[in-house]
């Protein structure tokens, strides 16, 4: 689960029947000339669409009803989970959304989606920031951020991380460059800063319940849905800022 396999669907799509409909909602193709001495190079390139009108359809004003649906696509790596039979699978999940059992190639199950959902939710609400601070999304950076926020992982995983000594002592205490801590260490809910301290506390408490090292301690998807505060989903708390994003998160977890 990651943002690129989560799609927005609106019933308007079913009525599209011509290129004019596509242009209406996604805008006219944006063409950029391509200057090259190579005879094989294209004369121009088509840039990504700016679907502002379509987004407005999906996210109308707070007092209007939205028929938006969240679709999860790309089930190429999905598999049937049988509790009685542990699954050892190499998952190609992007590291910034991967649960530790995925990173360390341990047994996997539905709990990995709950971890990924926490990372995706943080990504959506923060504007494409990584829950576990990382510049390049490397395994080293993700694991470093994990330990700084959640503490030392179980020994079976800790001992597999052969370069941990560059950052931590054997007890999981930081021994790396102190000047880097201000960039890579921040609370789980640090999305709103001083503007919305109450909201930051709620987000931190919620995410803390989802990113547990032990998969058995994470809630199920159904439990996650029941844990989401209603005011987040209705947009009543901070409707003009976060209502739409949080509503999308609820629809997403209901589909997991």
Q: What pLDDT, on a 0 to 100 scale, did the predictor assign at position 248? A: 52
d(CA 133, CA 67): 34
Q: Which residue has the higher pLDDT, 178 or 95?
A: 95
109 Cβ contact list (under 8 Å, min separation 6): 81, 83, 87, 215
Express each pLDDT in 35-50 by its tens digit.
888 888 888 888 877 7
Q: What pLDDT, on a 0 to 100 scale, did the predictor assign at position 125? A: 77
Q: What pLDDT, on a 0 to 100 scale, did the predictor assign at position 72? A: 82
If you search the block for the tokens 């007890």, which residue do you land on? 171
At 240, phi and psi to the nearest 5?
A: -75, -15
Q: pLDDT-derived band of residue 249, with 50, 70 and 90 as boundaries?
A: low
Q: What pLDDT, on a 0 to 100 scale, did the predictor assign at position 184? A: 60
Identify the burial level of 194 via C-beta atoms within 10 angstroms of its C-beta, where 0-12 means exposed, 13-18 middle and 19 or more buried: exposed
Q: pLDDT-derived band of residue 247, with 50, 70 and 90 as boundaries?
A: low
With CA atoms as reference, report the closest residue to 29 among 44, 16, 42, 39. Answer: 44
Q: What pLDDT, on a 0 to 100 scale, did the predictor assign at position 185? A: 59
Q: pLDDT averaged over the chain? A: 78
Express each pLDDT in 206-230 by its tens digit.
889 999 999 999 999 889 988 887 7
In order of their start, the domains of the chain are: 3-131+188-255 (1.10.510)
Helices (H), the chain: 19-26, 52-58, 100-103, 111-126, 139-150, 155-158, 181-184, 197-210, 221-227, 230-234, 243-255
Whether this model's pTM surpasses 0.85: no
Q: Which of 22-26, 79-83, 106-110, 180-184 has the highest mean pLDDT?
A: 106-110
Q: What pLDDT, on a 0 to 100 scale, did the predictor assign at position 218? A: 96
Checking if the pLDDT of 242 tops 50, the result is: no
Mean pLDDT of 145-161: 94
First-to-last alpha carbon distance for the chain, in angstroms, is 9
Q: Which of 10-19, 119-128, 207-216 has the highest mean pLDDT?
A: 207-216
Tokens of 68: 């938006």
What is the helix (H) or strand (E) element at residue 72, kind and residue range?
Answer: strand 69-72
Neighbours of 182 (CB within 10 A): 8
């Amino acid at each position: 689960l990651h943002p690129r396999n989560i799609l927005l669907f609106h019933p308007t799509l079913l009525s599209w029947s011509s290129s004019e409909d596509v242009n209406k909602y996604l805008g006219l193709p944006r063409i950029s000339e391509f200057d090259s001495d190579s005879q094989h190079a294209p004369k121009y390139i088509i840039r990504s669409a700016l679907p502002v009108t379509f987004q407005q359809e999906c996210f109308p004003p707070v007092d209007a009803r939205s028929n938006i649906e969240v679709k999860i696509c790309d089930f190429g790596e999905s598999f049937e989970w049988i509790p009685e039979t542990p699954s050892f699978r190499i998952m190609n999940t992007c590291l910034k959304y991967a649960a530790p059992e995925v990173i360390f190639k341990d047994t996997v199950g539905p709990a990995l989606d709950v971890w990924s959902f926490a990372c995706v939710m943080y990504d959506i609400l923060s504007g494409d920031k990584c829950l576990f601070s990382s510049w390049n999304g490397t395994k080293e950076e993700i694991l470093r951020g994990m330990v700084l926020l959640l503490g030392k992982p179980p020994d079976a995983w800790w001992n597999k991380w052969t370069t941990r000594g560059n950052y931590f002592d054997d007890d999981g205490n930081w021994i790396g460059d102190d000047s880097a801590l201000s960039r890579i260490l921040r609370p789980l809910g640090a999305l709103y800063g001083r503007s919305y301290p109450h909201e930051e506390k709620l987000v931190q408490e919620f995410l803390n319940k989802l990113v547990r090292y032990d998969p058995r301690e994470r809630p199920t998807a159904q439990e996650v849905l029941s844990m989401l505060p209603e005011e987040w989903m209705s947009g009543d708390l901070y409707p003009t800022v976060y209502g739409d994003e949080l509503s999308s998160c609820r629809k997403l977890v209901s589909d997991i």
